[in-house]
Amino acid sequence: MLFHINATMPAHKSGIEHAELKRIKLFAQKQVPQRLVLREWDPKLHLQLQKEALPDALVLNMFDFYQRATMVPWCKVTARDLDFGETPLIWQIEPEQQRWLISNQADELIARVHYYPDDQQVRLVEWFDTQQNLYKAEYYDWRGFPSMIQWYTANNQVSGETWLDVKGHPVIENYRKYTMGNPGNLEPTHWQLQTENQQFQFDTLDELTAHFLNQINHEFWSAKTPNIFILDRAHLGDAALLNLDWPAYTVLHLHNAQTSNAQEPLTAPLNQHYEYALHNLDRYNAVVSATPQQTRDLQTRFHPKSKLWTIPVGIVNQRLSEQPRIPVAQRQYGKIVAFARIAPEKQLVDLVRAVGLAHQQNAAVSLDLYGYADPTDQYRARREIEAVIQDQHLEQVVQLKGYTDQIDAIEHQAMLYGLTSRMEGFNLALLEGISHGLIGVTYDVNYGPNEIIQDDWNGRVVAYQDYEALAQAILDILADPQLAQRYSTGAYESAQRYSEEQIYQDWEALFQDAAAFWAELPEGKDK
Amino acid sequence: MTAKVNLFVNENLYAFNSGTEHAQARRIRAFQQLGIPAYYVTRNYNRFLARDAANLNLDMQTVINMYDYFQGTQTTRMRKQSLHDLADFNWRTDHLDSSNPNFSLVQKAGRQVARITVLPATVGLVNEVIYNDRAGNPTRRENWDWRGFLSSVDRFTPDGQVQVTQYLNLAGDPVLEVNFMVKDGISQPTIWELKQYHGKNYRFATEDDLFGFFLNELIRQNDGQVNLWSERRSVDRAVSQAQGMTGRYAILHEMHTVTNTDLPAGTLYAGYQDLFEALTPAFDTIFVPSQRQRADLQSRYPKQNFKVVPDTVVTLPQHVPARDQRIPGHLLVLGRLSAEKAPELALQLLALIRNYLPDVTMEFMGYPSSPDYLAQFKAQVQTLGLGEQVFISKYGDAKQVQTALRRAQVLINPSSHEAFGMQLVEGLAAGLPLITMENRYTPNAVVEDGINGYRLQTLPFNGAVPKIVQILEDAQVWQKMSQASLKKAQAFDLANFGTVWQEVLADKV
């Protein structure tokens, strides 16, 4: 069994989730036995899985697993379906708050029932005692059963949580205490897991996660083929995978630069998310990065004993490859697009500056930015962009469009794709751009942009943070229709490096290595 | 004879029981022998119910406890759960330190994960498992039943108070959940949730509200053909609110006034005020153990119906030890060591008797009302110089009480505050001369002055001391009184008990 390990599958996905979903779809086509292993409790997970068209059977959430709720059909549960333990009741709706207030004849509040506005499905029931204290909050899974209870103290603090199986039996509990390390806040200091036959005590959620990973390694054990764990977010299992009690093939998958400053990969301090894993690099069976540059830098800096693999995380699917190519002449002349969160590390303000400069020379230049505004530092990234737009009077030139999923329509119309990030792990959006024939203009930035865009083949790569050079590159391309067409054709062709077949071949090589590792293990692996 | 079911309702049955529980248990056993349906119904949570019932010689099938009922564990049999094979821990990674017989510590790499306490008077059977977090704070307590199953779980607040207790069925599902909040400055239950009882949820403000619901369920299951009896004043209110039964009664086992000097209009015990001042209309009849108490109450509450039923029943022994088979000069005091039982009067009496008989001894058998009282009592023994004369035995079960009765020559009752004097009736059946402080409600049928013992006035005991010495010294006197006691005992045997009760049940119920 192959396990992809992540936290959850949120509605606002980052590149890691996009990469993972592409990989899962590719493996599904190839009939690789696999599970998406998710660690965080998420009452809306299965709604999101439905939106992603991911079957429940393909997903193994840790809480679901212990709640015996991996495969539970959706069931309509509204406030009217609940049993409040008293009759008669007085019902009062507060539509703005999306909740019902349920009281008894003595006008004592019994419960507040919060619901999802679109279908009235129960989301949360808050319970009140005879003194009108909130004493517990019962969170419902979107599928229609109580999933988790938060217990409230007399000072209205959550003192712990209990997760229930679908029959209401407690299976996971935590207990919170004040600690000197975290004064004023209650934090979980004890976790307990109750299975059918045994109980387990843990100090932390990570210890429970380690137990879980160990357990699925047992449950899916096969003497013939190794379980393969692909760790997509290091913090979820970087230590646990090194301490499994039965062997498995472990893969550390990097999705970002391994150093805090991606432009100085050999000397800069380590990216904090990967620090533990990098100190233990030798102990994973495989380390995957998405570009040859990153693999090279890992090799140079760490000389690991584990095998390094370059497997791009972007996959251009068959449908996209077979679309008719759109000539540059049919595109909107001068239209540049970028798809990215409006976040500090994306440094889009540089792209706006470059567009501002180019626009002074060529009035047709314009930029559309698509993506959520990241709230870090009170939306600093967005505010910086807005300031440049205002200073340079670019209101008609640069548009902040917000998030969209109309990628095909937009990229079939635009002409260039711009990128000025501080660091990347790959950049799926840029790959998507070239696979739509967009000409890439990018900083020479690690890792991904300077691999996906090859200077003078499918666009231009300029020196890092040289937005004047980027402006000049844009003007050069716009000034020469033949050059522009050559780059666009190059873009379509260069995308073939990331075809499904190409990427799957890379993975197959890794699978073969896993099989070889298994064959070399001494007898006794067949538990 | 009636086919109605008699539910005798009490708070609990305890490890150490007072006369109320003993009388109730005897009645249930006697009813069982007489073929009258009867159950000992209790309210309080008691993980030692099976042990305590056995100590009262009660068949668990005649005991219905509210928690046991809702937990669905009424027919669960005893199974020994050793702490060494608890499924809570992984003994391949955890260490068990069992150096103390009363508790064991579970340690993981030197850190205490849990403390397991041992069921009293067992070797290594699980009582509680108290879990600790990584800094050693208690987080959760699992409470095991005497019968060897996990019965309830407490979650602790961050400062170590109980926050919620969940009572479990055998599958481990919470069937009853009690949440605690601060009310009137102290942490106490503020909501009781009964879960999925016959498919429905119920919420209650108090344990007694739940208890009322429970009693109604028992009545309903018997199609209302129920006589409901309140045995203790703490359950009068719940019993008074039950619905649908054919009859509702209260039984008194004690004197109802604080002193015995101002009867019949004396100040009521606090516990009796609710019954007599508020709840009497709900009760069809209130039963008392003696005619005299009935008369006192009847004159005080003329509208209420009072009747007399036997407080106790005894089994007459085939063989009673002769005087010379007993310890010479050995006196027995049976009952709780507490101020209202006046055991210090027995010490005064003993000191006086010792003036005649230096070798006299006195045994006290009963549980102390508090450790403080016990210490104070022991100090008094020393002050009176009776250290060589006095023995304090532990609270005894039925067998141990019988043994004590067989080794004594005289039974002493120092309390003048009895509603009847159940222990005196035991003394009758054991063929003992009885010495009692004068008791308004202890009839001559139990102690008849000069016939089977003496009734003493307050100090200096109206010159009775030489007479008591005579009982101890003169074999003929002892023999005469012993025979008189045995004869009186016959009035309290099962046949007479059955006759009276069947009349009561046929007439009233």
pLDDT digits (tens, 9 = 90+) for B113-149: 999 999 999 999 999 999 999 999 999 999 999 999 9
Query: Cβ neighbours of residue A130 under 8 Å, at least 6 residues apart?
Result: A108, B190, B191, B205
A324-497 shares the fold of A2-72+207-310: yes
Please tell me whether residues B196 and B239 are part of one structural domain: no
Query: Cβ neighbours of residue B278 under 8 Å, at least 6 residues apart?
Result: none
C-alpha distances in Å from residue B434, one per residue of A174, B326, B330 = 62, 15, 13
d(CA B312, CA B308): 12
pTM: 0.90
The CA distance from B192 to the nearest CA of chain A, in Å, is 9
Nearest C-alpha in B relative to A128: B191
Position A251, amino acid: V
Would B501 be classed as within a structural domain? no
Please tell me whether residues B224 and B167 are part of one structural domain: no
C-alpha distances in Å from residue B474, one per residue of B258, B361, B409, B428, B478 = 39, 17, 12, 19, 6
| Domain boundary assignment for chain A | 2-72+207-310, 79-201, 324-497
pLDDT of residue A525: 56
**Residue B2 scores a pLDDT above 50:** no
Of B133, B171, B190, the CB nearest to A177: B133
Of B190, B207, B224, which residue sits at a domain end? B207
Of B139, B166, B181, the CB nearest to A135: B181
Would B505 be classed as within a structural domain? no
Please tell me whether residues B301 and B359 are part of one structural domain: no
Relative to beta strand B306-308, strand B390-393 is unpaired
Report which of residues A62 and B508 the model is more confident about: A62
Contact status of B186 with chain A (Cβ, < 8 Å)? no
In terms of Cβ atoms closer than 10 Å to its own Cβ (0-12, 13-18, 19+), residue B52 is buried
User: Taking CB atoms and an 8 Å limit, are A173 and B90 in contact across chains?
Assistant: no
Secondary structure, 3-state, A465-487: CCHHHHHHHHHHHHHCHHHHHHH
Q: Which residues pair with A199 in a beta bridge?
A: A194
Of A500, A496, A425, the closest CA to residue A27 belongs to A500
Would B341 be classed as within a structural domain? yes
Please tell me whether residues B198 and B233 are part of one structural domain: no
What ipTM was predicted for this assembly? Answer: 0.88
**Residue B509 scores a pLDDT above 80:** no
Secondary structure, 3-state, B17-85: CCHHHHHHHHHHHHHHHHCCCEEEEECCCCCCHHHHHHHCCCCHHHEEEHHHHHHCCCCCCCCCCEHHH
Please tell me whether residues B290 and B251 are part of one structural domain: yes
Nearest C-alpha in B relative to A104: B203
Would B238 be classed as within a structural domain? yes
pLDDT of residue B508: 55
The CA distance from B403 to the nearest CA of chain A, in Å, is 47
d(CA B363, CA B352): 16
Please tell me whether residues B32 and B132 are part of one structural domain: no
Please tell me whether residues B72 and B102 are part of one structural domain: no
**Residue B319 scores a pLDDT above 50:** yes
Of A130, A159, A201, the CB nearest to B113: A201
Relative to beta strand A228-231, strand A249-253 is parallel
What range defines the domain where residue B371 resides? 323-492
Task: Spell out the alpha helix ranges (H) of A261-398.
Answer: 275-279, 292-302, 318-321, 348-361, 376-391
What distance, in Å, lies between the first and last C-alpha atoms of chain B?
A: 10
Q: Which residues pair with B453 in a beta bridge?
A: B434, B449
Residue B450, domain CATH: 3.40.50.2000
Would B315 be classed as within a structural domain? no
If one counts every other C-beta atom within 10 angstroms of the C-beta of residue B382, the result is 10
d(CA B404, CA B172): 44
The CA distance from A199 to the nearest CA of chain B, in Å, is 4
Query: In B, which residues are within 8 Å of A127 by CB distance?
Result: 191
Number of domains in chain B: 3
Relative to beta strand B38-42, strand A459-462 is unpaired
Please tell me whether residues B342 and B487 are part of one structural domain: yes
- From the options 3.40.50.300, 3.40.50.2000, 1.10.40.60, 2.20.25.90, give the CATH code of A324-497: 3.40.50.2000
Which chain A residues touch B if contact means CB-CB below 8 Å? 83-86, 110, 127, 129-131, 133, 135-136, 151, 153-154, 157, 159-160, 167-170, 173, 175-179, 186, 189-190, 192, 194, 197-201, 203
pLDDT of residue B506: 86
Helix axes B465-473, B343-354, angle to 10 degrees: 70
Would B506 be classed as within a structural domain? no
User: Taking CB atoms and an 8 Å limit, are A197 and B114 in contact across chains?
Assistant: no
pLDDT of residue A117: 95
The size of chain A, in residues, is 527
Query: Edge-to-edge strand order for the sheet containing A335-339?
Result: A398-400, A366-370, A335-339, A416-419, A439-443, A459-462
pLDDT digits (tens, 9 = 90+) for B432-471: 999 999 999 999 999 999 999 999 998 778 788 999 999 9
Please tell me whether residues B200 and B216 are part of one structural domain: no
pLDDT digits (tens, 9 = 90+) for B251-264: 999 899 888 777 77
Please tell me whether residues B341 and B386 are part of one structural domain: yes
Of B113, B133, B166, the CB nearest to A189: B133
pLDDT of residue A523: 63
User: Taking CB atoms and an 8 Å limit, are A177 and B158 in contact across chains?
Assistant: yes
pLDDT digits (tens, 9 = 90+) for B331-386: 999 999 999 899 999 999 999 999 999 999 999 999 999 999 999 999 999 999 99
Residues of chain A with pLDDT under 70: 523-527
Please tell me whether residues B271 and B135 are part of one structural domain: no
Across B231-300, where does the E strand assignment appear? 247-251, 285-288
DSSP B395: P
pLDDT digits (tens, 9 = 90+) for B284-305: 999 999 999 999 999 999 999 9
DSSP A449: H
Domain A2-72+207-310 is of which CATH architecture?
3-Layer(aba) Sandwich (3.40)
Contact status of B162 with chain A (Cβ, < 8 Å)? no
C-alpha distances in Å from residue A390, one per residue of A352, A421, B381 = 11, 22, 99
Would B314 be classed as within a structural domain? no
User: Taking CB atoms and an 8 Å limit, are A129 and B179 in contact across chains?
Assistant: yes
A26, A29, A35, A40 alpha-carbon torsion, rounded to 10°? 50
Would B41 be classed as within a structural domain? yes
- From the options 3.90.930, 3.40.50, 1.10.530, 3.30.70, give the CATH code of A79-201: 3.90.930
Please tell me whether residues B417 and B351 are part of one structural domain: yes
d(CA A375, CA A14): 15
pLDDT digits (tens, 9 = 90+) for B376-419: 999 999 999 999 999 999 888 888 999 999 999 999 999 988 88
